[in-house]
Amino acid sequence: MTIDPERLQRSQERERELKAMMVAALDGDEAAYRQCLQGLSKHLRAFLSRRLTRDAAEVEDLVQETLLAIHCQRHTFAADRPLTAWVQAIASYKLADWFRGHGGRLGRLDPLDDHENLFADDHGLAGEATRDVRQLLQDLPQRWRVPIELTKLGGYSVNEAALASGMSASAIKVGVHRGMKALAQLARKQI
């Protein structure tokens, strides 16, 4: 597959712009936050429409749920990491939740970890980062991995994560705390 340099440059520029807006938003800039969410909405619709073609209303519901999860978990965004990978992970978990909740009522479903990714013009950069995060998570014991997947990536509250996993709320808190420390150590080893 040949990568179009202009397309790659546009994708990288869009990543920089959205990331700058998110960083400004985290510093309290409400206008930047609105712009960032509007920019992400367009790409989330494209990402989710490729995977769920049954009903435009269902796609829009998932876009809104994903934006809400982004809002609730914005404090977990690390400015030294790609925004696109973080957003794609949240969108993927929201989509997986939707499929679980709808008992297999599928539209067209492409694998979540395929070479397509959140940004239509991106050539695998976000996908590679997502695979890296997923690989790091797979290296964690389940007692730490599940709480992180549910709370940090899935947008669940501690109590919701406890109900979904069958773990206690305190086990979820401990799992997130210890798991995040372990993830940081694993990431440092790979740099």
Alpha carbons 43 and 37: distance in angstroms, whole number: 10
Strands (E), the chain: none
Q: What are phi and psi of 83, to 5 degrees?
A: -65, -40
- The region, left, alpha or beta by phi > 0 then psi within -120 to 50, assigned to residue 157 is beta
Is residue 162, in this structure, part of any structural domain at all? no
Confidence of residue 54 (pLDDT cuts 50, 70, 90): low
DSSP state of 121: T
Number of independent structural domains in the chain: 1
CA-CA-CA-CA torsion sign (112, 8, 65, 132): positive
By residue range, what is the domain housing residue 69? 5-101+114-138
Is residue 67, in this structure, part of any structural domain at all? yes
Whether the per-residue pLDDT at 139 is higher than 50: the answer is yes
Is residue 189, in this structure, part of any structural domain at all? no
- Please give the pLDDT value at position 36: 93
Is residue 36, in this structure, part of any structural domain at all? yes
Higher-pLDDT residue of 126, 138: 138
Q: CB–CB of 17/43 below 8 Å?
A: no
pLDDT per residue over 73-128, tens digit each? 888 888 888 888 788 888 888 887 777 776 554 444 444 444 344 444 444 444 45
Q: CB–CB of 182/140 below 8 Å?
A: yes
Is residue 164, in this structure, part of any structural domain at all? no
Is residue 174, in this structure, part of any structural domain at all? no
Is residue 107, in this structure, part of any structural domain at all? no
Whichever domain contains 23, its CATH number is 1.10.1740.10
Is residue 186, in this structure, part of any structural domain at all? no
Look up residue 9 and give its two tokens: 């440059």
Look up residue 82 and give its two tokens: 């790609």
Closest CA to 83 of 19, 20, 29: 19
